Amino acid sequence: MSTLIEAVDLKQHYPVRQGLLGRQTAAVKAVDGVNLRIHRGEVLGLVGESGSGKSTLGRNLMMMERPTSGAVLYEGSDLAGRSHKALHPYRRKMQMVFQDPFSSLNPRMTVEDSLTMPLRFHQPELSAAQRRDAAAETLERVGLPRSMITRYPHEFSGGQRQRIGIARGLIVRPEFMVADEPVSALDVSVQAQVLNLFSEIRESLGLTLLFVTHDLAVVGHIADRVAVMYLGQIMEIAPTRALFTAPKHPYTETLLSAAPQPTVGARGARIPMKGEPPSPLSPPSGCVFRTRCSHATPECDAAHPELRSRAPGHLSACIRDDISLVPAVSDRPTSPRRKQSA
Amino acid sequence: MSAISDAPARRPSPLRVFTGPRMRKFMRHRLAMLGLIMIVGLTLTCFFGPYLLPYDELYIDLRARFSPPLTENHILGTDPLGRDIAARLFSAGQISLTVGFTAMVLSTLIGTVIGLVAGYFGGWTRTGLMRIVDAFLSFPSIFLMLTLAAFLQPSPTMITLIIAVTSWMEVARIVEAEVRGQASRDFTAAARMIGAPHWWIMLREILPNVTGPIIVAATLTVARAILLEAYISFLGYGIQPPLPSWGNMLNNAQQYLESAPWLAIVPGVAITMAVTSFNFIGDGLRDALDARSVK
Amino acid sequence: MTTPSSSTTDPVLSVRDLTIRFKARGRETPVVHGIDFDIHGGETLALVGESGSGKSVTSFALMRLLPDARHCTIEGQVNIGGVNLLELTERKMTSVRGPKIAMIFQEPLTSLNPVHRVGDQIAEAIRYHRKMTRAQIRDRVLELLTLVGIPDPERRMSAYPGAMSGGMRQRVVIAMALALEPDLLIADEPTTALDVTVQAQILELLRDIQNRTGMAMLFITHDFGVVAEIADRVMVMYSGRIVEEGRLEDVLTQPRMPYTQGLLSSVPRLEDAGLRTGALGTIEGFVPTAGNLPDGCSFHPRCPHARPGVCDTAMPALEPHGRPDHPVRCLRIEDIAASDMEDLSV
């Protein structure tokens, strides 16, 4: 599989300034040395808790925020050093879907204006009528009737708005899409509709997708591979099934065991997680997870665990090879199939 | 959030600010409607009233000096030179209202541009521009105006410019705050991700979302501009006689306050009416347009 | 229609025919349509629904936190300890909130005053209701902070809310709610704003406290995963009505109402992770807005089992349909029961 986009030792540090002269006293290390490859045509899930830096990493890859250091390679060429202008051709190839469907659409613009806007800047040769056609077509693509193109965002429900947000991303036919918590603000039943839409478009359009979320069940459903982030670093990255059935990092184990599941008897069987995430302003020395890790040893204070291959395609940033972790899911072939209502 | 049918909707007008629930809300604001009616009445009277009067504002009739209101053809009386006060009031109103309106347009323009640029770009741009705003605000504008007026030729155009230059800061502050809010919303980020140029994002994406507060601020600016013009003209630095303005009519009336009080009352009432009306309209618009009060 | 609980004692909370209407522009829009339920001591009842179902409005009505009579009307009975809260004066209600019934919210910051130390805020609640000396109150605050699992409570009591993480703040809010040992705790999406690991801790804390104090809990959420963690009984709400009610195991494994079935099938499952099990189940259409409810069963336009002439004519009642402990509001329950659900069990 070829690599479409790659992060190389990517860092995003935000200076914290204090005092009259605004001297920099510290830095929030939102993304701290991330190496990540996204293959063409795959869905990579990026999970983490708040403050893990998962959204910032997504924004870095999109060049929405320029990283402090490191490189973002798109098909081998670095984006991080490019000027606003030199990025323009890549803008068409990479698109973003946002979390909040209420703030991602301009309330004073019709759906048509919102959808045709990208075409103005990327296909200026199109006539107004052609743009309008393309917009209507894309709207149908995401499951909304063409006739709704003249409406304003406030006339739509949250799920419909999220579809419009997806349509705006799709209209320029991108290769790569970052979806930042795209279903978190939606009701359960609507969330399923939007997830199904994502599955469907990645299949039919061959889209490469970075799906950023805090919800493990969602990522398990949609992703081919999953990367787990904690305090600006990637803890583990593995094919989805392998991550859920044979986690190699204690953080993944804890995260999986904390995920609430609508099944009877799941209650209480938890791997205890000590305390709360430390402030990204002062991450622990050594392994950043050691302060909450139930398997931490004195060696972890000094170690700087790198991502290491532990199984084919399965990397983990933990120095302890000797521990056996509890999987969230036993690797029996499948659970009883659930009925799908029409 | 309501589910919606597939029937094609009628395309709403681009001036959606003035339609639908906002308009109804404005119409229900009684004082604002009263203000609107008064302003329309005042403007029509000032601009078309002179055609119905037998005298023009410069006609001197020394035999009719100090006629109180309602004598013969002088509905509002005459001044110390026997000029018809009604004619002078209307003609002064044309100047005062024009000065007020033009100053508003100019200061809103300046304030909007500065606020838009400061709020959109943020960082050092914002810091620099907003410090300029602070500098202008910290200077007592009356003294600034009087100084400027003392050195410059006090024509109506110059007075308008002076007022505009000293009253755009309010608008700039309001616009800056609103734009900063809009610029942090995801649709702005989406437009940037598309590669839309800055001017496009500012004018097409953000500006339409801040028109409400701008309109409110502009309305209140008219009131202030009219008051300022009256103020400097009253102090003798504004519109110069024989050209009448509400301010210099008041100035002339000072020495006759006891013998001919109507000389002061008539322009005084006109100024009060104009200023309060614009303030009422501004209040009504604020209630109707302010994003925070609209559900 | 209420389910007889396993407990034979009197319920802590008994709600009868609770109806809430909002008034706007001279029109009254019903948002909650005559709901009935009981909660017994030591029991957790989960109220599940999507946004717009009326679940939060219900909880606010129980606390009498809705706007005054000019904006809404509340009818029915909310009985706690033989007193109908809806008939109390605002003054009397103040003495009920705290010792009888307490509430925690989704966003802990809204219940905490940022300019006061957390210890003082908890102490305030105690001082208002109880005659205790300063030292006694201080001891009680320490005890409460320890109970909710705040490490180093001596130091934390003089911290300001802003200096705490979301999880710690929610613990403080829980400590405040528990300060007067309420008979009933209403928890309105208390973990929705928290990370999963913190959510797991808070849910465990609530379970633990309930085991120790025997208080009753009404837990409002949209998340069936959280429901499975905390609830003994479940009520599913749709468009201001309870559409299904039953024991946790029954509702999760054998949902009877097509709406509940749809909701459960739309939740992605951990055990299916990475298996590409195909599309998730969905419910077509939208939650109707209050005031625009369809005729007949409110769910029928979205229901895969709806029959014209049956479901669009009459609102079904919440009835046992053969299972007294698992009533459901569906006219076609007998027809669809056989075919549908056995393979949902886990």
Q: pLDDT at position C344, please?
A: 47
Q: Could you tell me if A97 and A166 are in contact, meaning their C-beta atoms sit under 8 angstroms apart?
A: yes
Residues of A with Cβ-Cβ distance to C203 under 8 angstroms: 260
Helix or strand run (H / E) with residue A6: strand A3-18
In this predicted model, which residue has the larger pLDDT, A340 or A146? A146
In this predicted model, which residue has the larger pLDDT, A14 or B7? A14
Q: pLDDT at position A269, please?
A: 63
For residues C247-274, average pLDDT: 91
CA distance B56 to B29: 38
Q: pLDDT at position A335, please?
A: 47
DSSP C27: E
Asked whether the predicted pLDDT for residue C187 surpasses 90, the reply is: yes
Q: pLDDT at position C5, please?
A: 45
Q: Do B1 and C285 touch (CB under 8 A)?
A: no
CA distance A296 to A300: 6
Q: Which residue type sits at C131?
A: K
Q: ipTM of the predicted structure?
A: 0.85
Q: Distance, in angstroms, between C259 CA and closest chain A CA? A: 10
Asked whether the predicted pLDDT for residue B260 surpasses 90, the reply is: no
| Among candidates A103, A122, A168 on the partner chain, residue whose Cβ is nearest the Cβ of B185 | A103
**For chain C, what is the mean pLDDT?**
87
For residues A81-94, average pLDDT: 89
| CB environment B7-41: b (16+ within 10 A), e (fewer) | eebeeeeeeebeeeebeebbeebeebeebbebbee
For residues A160-179, average pLDDT: 94
| Among candidates C225, C274, C346 on the partner chain, residue whose Cβ is nearest the Cβ of A260 | C225
Within a 10 A sphere around the Cβ of C97, how many other Cβ atoms? Answer: 19
Chain C CA closest to residue A337: C343
Asked whether the predicted pLDDT for residue A276 surpasses 90, the reply is: no
Is B5 in the C-facing interface, judged by CB distances under 8 Å? no
Is C258 in the A-facing interface, judged by CB distances under 8 Å? yes
Q: pLDDT at position A212, please?
A: 96
Q: Residue A21: which pLDDT band, with cuts at 50, 70 and 90? A: low
CA distance A171 to A159: 18
DSSP A154: G
Which CATH code for domain B19-47+84-289?
1.10.3720.10
Asked whether the predicted pLDDT for residue B202 surpasses 70, the reply is: yes
Residue C131, strand partner residues: none
| Among candidates C167, C228, C283 on the partner chain, residue whose Cβ is nearest the Cβ of A264 | C228
Helices B262-289 and B30-48: crossing angle in degrees, nearest 10, is: 130
Lowest mean pLDDT among A48-52, A113-117, A200-204, B129-133: A48-52
Q: Residue A340: which pLDDT band, with cuts at 50, 70 and 90? A: very low
Asked whether the predicted pLDDT for residue C37 surpasses 60, the reply is: yes
Q: pLDDT at position A331, please?
A: 67
Lowest mean pLDDT among A141-155, B2-16, B177-191: B2-16
Asked whether the predicted pLDDT for residue C69 surpasses 50, the reply is: yes
Q: Residue B104: which pLDDT band, with cuts at 50, 70 and 90? A: very high
Q: Do A263 and C269 touch (CB under 8 A)?
A: yes
Domain boundaries, chain C: 255-346
Asked whether the predicted pLDDT for residue A7 surpasses 60, the reply is: yes
Q: Which residue type sits at C142?
A: L
Q: Residue C338: which pLDDT band, with cuts at 50, 70 and 90? A: low
Asked whether the predicted pLDDT for residue C8 surpasses 70, the reply is: no
Asked whether the predicted pLDDT for residue A17 surpasses 80, the reply is: no
CA distance B22 to A246: 58
Q: pLDDT at position A332, please?
A: 60
Q: pLDDT at position A19, please?
A: 67
DSSP C319: B
Q: pLDDT at position A73, please?
A: 95
Asked whether the predicted pLDDT for residue A111 surpasses 70, the reply is: yes
Q: Could you tell me if A184 and A213 are in contact, meaning their C-beta atoms sit under 8 angstroms apart?
A: yes
For residues B88-115, average pLDDT: 91
Lowest mean pLDDT among A264-268, C250-254, C337-341: C337-341
Chain B CA closest to residue A86: B195
Q: Residue C183: which pLDDT band, with cuts at 50, 70 and 90? A: very high
Helix or strand run (H / E) with residue C275: none
pLDDT tens profile C133-178? 999 999 999 999 988 888 888 888 899 988 888 888 998 999 999 8
Q: Could you tell me if C194 and C202 are in contact, meaning their C-beta atoms sit under 8 angstroms apart?
A: yes
Asked whether the predicted pLDDT for residue B15 surpasses 70, the reply is: no
In chain B, % of residues over pLDDT 70: 90
Is A246 in the C-facing interface, judged by CB distances under 8 Å? no
**For chain B, what is the mean pLDDT?**
81
Lowest mean pLDDT among A167-181, B256-270, C4-18, C273-287: C4-18
Q: Could you tell me if C39 and C184 are in contact, meaning their C-beta atoms sit under 8 angstroms apart?
A: yes
Q: Residue C337: which pLDDT band, with cuts at 50, 70 and 90? A: low
Asked whether the predicted pLDDT for residue B195 surpasses 80, the reply is: yes
Angle at A266 between CA A262 and CA A269, to 5 degrees: 145
Mutate to test the interface with C, among A161, A270, A338 (most CBs of C within 10 A): A338
Q: Residue A155: which pLDDT band, with cuts at 50, 70 and 90? A: confident
For residues C337-341, average pLDDT: 57
Q: Distance, in angstroms, between A80 CA and closest chain B CA? A: 15
Q: pLDDT at position B13, please?
A: 44
